[in-house]
A and B are shown apart, each in its own frame.
Chain A
Amino acid sequence: MTDFKIVVCMKVVPKPEEIRVDPETRRLERSQVRSEFNPPDMNALEMALRLKDLYNARVIILSMGPAFFEPYLRIGLAMGADEAFLLSDRRFAGADTLATTYTLAKGIEKLGHPDLIICGEESSDGATGQVPPGLAEWLGIPQITLVTDIEMDLEQRVVRGRREVRGGHEMLEVPTPAVISVKTASNEPRFMDYEIKDKAFKQTKIGVWSCEDIEADEGYIGVPGSPTIVTGFEQATIRERKREFLPGARDEVVRRLLESIQDYL
């Protein structure tokens, strides 16, 4: 069943704890920061690779970003993905969700007709979780989001996903092609396979596509394609524990505690 094709959308993100906001310029300082694969995207890739194990699917990684993403995509290849493509063009920069999902959708169209597009739940930098439904909308196909488990019916051309909702779950079925988003931490991403790692890191060619390659409309990508503008950044308090001892008699402490935690619930 080698004609079963899965595209996994992946992104490289800065390690969140290292990001700082310059108090003067109110811009993000991200130059000296270590990067990693967006952790939820690792769950997405793992789900795709499990489907590959089961159905001999072809797994293609698609990413959008600068050239330094390339070695990261090779990590995905070393985990078992068959191919990787990077949408890389200065004009893609500054994209919000609308422009990002448009660009990715154009890349997916260029890749032919995948049966499934699998995404992570959200990215750790933007944390919008809006890419999967936006992508599904551009492509005009159904979606199942926040899936913890998935099964395919290749005969009927449907996919069934178990989706987490408040206080339980639901089982949804949609026809393929479809967009799936994977609940973060719902599986354990496999480590790289060292039998293929050398090839993945040194030989496999990664396709790099520009705006023209994917036939994207310039008005829909990057800054022109993005309705949203960022007017400022602020540093949120760093996750340093407060270590605040609540004083007083037991009843007072109970009161203080309930007030203190109210904002977080």
Chain B
Amino acid sequence: MENADYFVLDDELWEELLALTDGEAAPCFQCGVCTASCPWGLVRGETFSVRKLIRQVQLGTLNEQEDLWLCTTCSQCEPYCPRGVPVVEIIQALRYMMWKRRAILEGLPSLLWSVYWNNNPWFQPPSQRTQWALTLDLPTYDPDHHDILLYIGCTASYDRRAQNLAHSLIQILRAFQIPFGVLGEDEPCCGETILRLGHLPYFKEIAEAGAKIFRDRGVGKLVAISPHCYDVFLNHYPEVNRDFEPLHYTEYLASVIETGGLKFQKTFDRKVTYHDPCYLGRRNQGYEAPRKILESIPGVTLVEMENSGMDALCCGGGGGRMWMETAPGERFSDLRVQEAAATGANVIATACPFCITCLEDGVKSMGIEGLEVLDIVEIAAQVLQK
């Protein structure tokens, strides 16, 4: 460590960070590998530096707060850290320190209020959470009759584009007679956005309340449409009950395919490249299941992008960035769709509603012709035998 003792100005800031991260920030020795691997380097050069942020806290001079909100929590850096520092956790803790100091970007308090009053981060009325499904007649989850609780999530409930993911998944479950239920208007927001934006105590409150709902309803297998919801249920919720098993839908469908319960009959004659969502892939090692589903679809030619799997480039929508503006020329999705185009694929498949939004934006703004963005579940629904 380079003469760290010389520079300690405000021990309190550093102590606060250590307390918030259970000391996990301590091993950082400022090597800078995190900064070198950060995708912001691809669009901004050196201006956003994870290393520097931590350094500033060590020095007690954390003031460049705008940078702190750039992080998409993609975890690209974490596997490279020689000391195993959980960078995303540190970013979240730093963000919470900003909440405490009320040095917050405009719009973020409103986002929290939206979750508080509306049970969703999209400023939509809670009473309209199930409006997308009015004609579907979805059964309310009952552990005695249903294999799974289908957790729709806020985005797939309200965003018309993402609603198609929910519709597709329901079509598949029904086609293969898999008994499932939903929570309808009682479905709680998972709180993922709140966690990523660093409001740790509010997230804790949401997670406890959500876990109680799942417990009271006797939820066992929970299948989530978005990897973001899935991630918090799996890694950040308190214990629900012994049977609670959160799954991303790709994992669930892949397991049903494995046991022969699901077969696709029609063909999808397209060249497909798969974009790994951060919270499915890097965060939870869900690399195989989505590829397995794609491979089981007749006609699909699967090609990989230059960076895939563990090195997949983030779409830019994580870490609360879906609610912040990213300047043109700085959007990861613009780079990502070019990578996809370079494979010669005509479909980018992915498995996350945020990725869909960002990648579709990228395809449009880069003016790429003949490249369609689809969620795996949409492709799967297209090849169902009638």
Given A194-B201, A194-B202, A18:B125 Cβ within 8 A: yes
Contact between A191 and B127, CB atoms less than 8 A apart: no
Contact between B109 and A190, CB atoms less than 8 A apart: yes
Residues B173-228 near A (CB distance < 8 A): 199, 201-202
Additional pairs, 8, CB under 8 Å, beyond known A17-B125, A194-B201: A15-B126, A18-B125, A188-B106, A188-B109, A189-B113, A190-B102, A191-B116, A192-B202
Q: B residues within 8 A CB of A193?
A: 100
Contact between B100 and A195, CB atoms less than 8 A apart: yes
Complex alpha-carbon distance, A184 and B166, angstroms: 36
Among residues of B, the one whose C-beta sits closest to the C-beta of A33 is: B127
Complex alpha-carbon distance, A193 and B199, angstroms: 10
Q: 1/0 contact trace for A187-209 toward B, CB 8 Å?
A: 01111111101000000000000
Contact between B127 and A34, CB atoms less than 8 A apart: yes
Q: 1/0 contact trace for B105-126 toward A, CB 8 Å?
A: 0110110110011000000011
Q: A residues within 8 A CB of B113?
A: 42, 189, 191
Contact between A15 and B125, CB atoms less than 8 A apart: yes
A72 to chain B, nearest CB (A): 11
A45 to chain B, nearest CB (A): 12
A19 to chain B, nearest CB (A): 10
Contact between A191 and B199, CB atoms less than 8 A apart: yes
A65 to chain B, nearest CB (A): 18
Residues A14-55 near B (CB distance < 8 A): 15, 17-18, 34, 36, 42
Q: For B110, B113, B125, B126, which residue has the most chain A Cβ atoms within 10 angstroms?
A: B113
Contact between B127 and A17, CB atoms less than 8 A apart: yes
Complex alpha-carbon distance, A101 and B143, angstroms: 53
Interface residue from A17, A189, A197 paired with B128 (Cβ < 8 Å): A17
Complex alpha-carbon distance, A194 and B116, angstroms: 14
Q: A residues within 8 A CB of B127?
A: 15, 17-18, 34
Among residues of A, the one whose C-beta sits closest to the C-beta of B108 is: A191
Complex alpha-carbon distance, A188 and B112, angstroms: 11
Complex alpha-carbon distance, A194 and B201, angstroms: 7
Complex alpha-carbon distance, A42 and B112, angstroms: 14
Q: A residues within 8 A CB of B128?
A: 17
Q: B residues within 8 A CB of A191?
A: 99, 109, 112-113, 116, 199, 202
Interface residue from B100, B102, B112, B117 paired with A36 (Cβ < 8 Å): B117
Q: B residues within 8 A CB of A197?
A: 201
Among residues of B, the one whose C-beta sits closest to the C-beta of A240 is: B131
Contact between A189 and B125, CB atoms less than 8 A apart: no
Q: For chains A and B in complex, what number of residue pairs have CB atoms within 8 angstroms?
A: 36
29 A-B pairs with C-beta separation under 8 A: A15-B117, A15-B125, A15-B127, A17-B127, A17-B128, A18-B125, A34-B126, A34-B127, A188-B106, A188-B107, A188-B109, A188-B110, A189-B109, A189-B110, A189-B113, A190-B102, A191-B99, A191-B109, A191-B112, A191-B113, A191-B116, A191-B199, A191-B202, A192-B202, A193-B100, A194-B199, A194-B201, A194-B202, A197-B201
B103 to chain A, nearest CB (A): 12
Q: 1/0 contact trace for A146-190 toward B, CB 8 Å?
A: 000000000000000000000000000000000000000000111
Complex alpha-carbon distance, A249 and B107, angstroms: 43
A192 to chain B, nearest CB (A): 8
Q: B residues within 8 A CB of A189?
A: 109-110, 113
Residues A66-94 near B (CB distance < 8 A): none
B367 to chain A, nearest CB (A): 29
A36 to chain B, nearest CB (A): 5
Among residues of B, the one whose C-beta sits closest to the C-beta of A18 is: B127
Q: B residues within 8 A CB of A15?
A: 117, 125-127
Q: B residues within 8 A CB of A190?
A: 102, 109
B382 to chain A, nearest CB (A): 26
A206 to chain B, nearest CB (A): 20
Complex alpha-carbon distance, A148 and B112, angstroms: 23
A21 to chain B, nearest CB (A): 16
Q: Which 5 A-B pairs have the closest CB atoms?
A: A194-B201, A191-B112, A191-B109, A17-B125, A36-B117
Among residues of A, the one whose C-beta sits closest to the C-beta of B115 is: A191
Complex alpha-carbon distance, A189 and B112, angstroms: 10
Complex alpha-carbon distance, A36 and B202, angstroms: 18
Q: A residues within 8 A CB of B202?
A: 191-192, 194
Q: B residues within 8 A CB of A18?
A: 125, 127
Q: A residues within 8 A CB of B109?
A: 188-191
Complex alpha-carbon distance, A190 and B100, angstroms: 11
B220 to chain A, nearest CB (A): 29
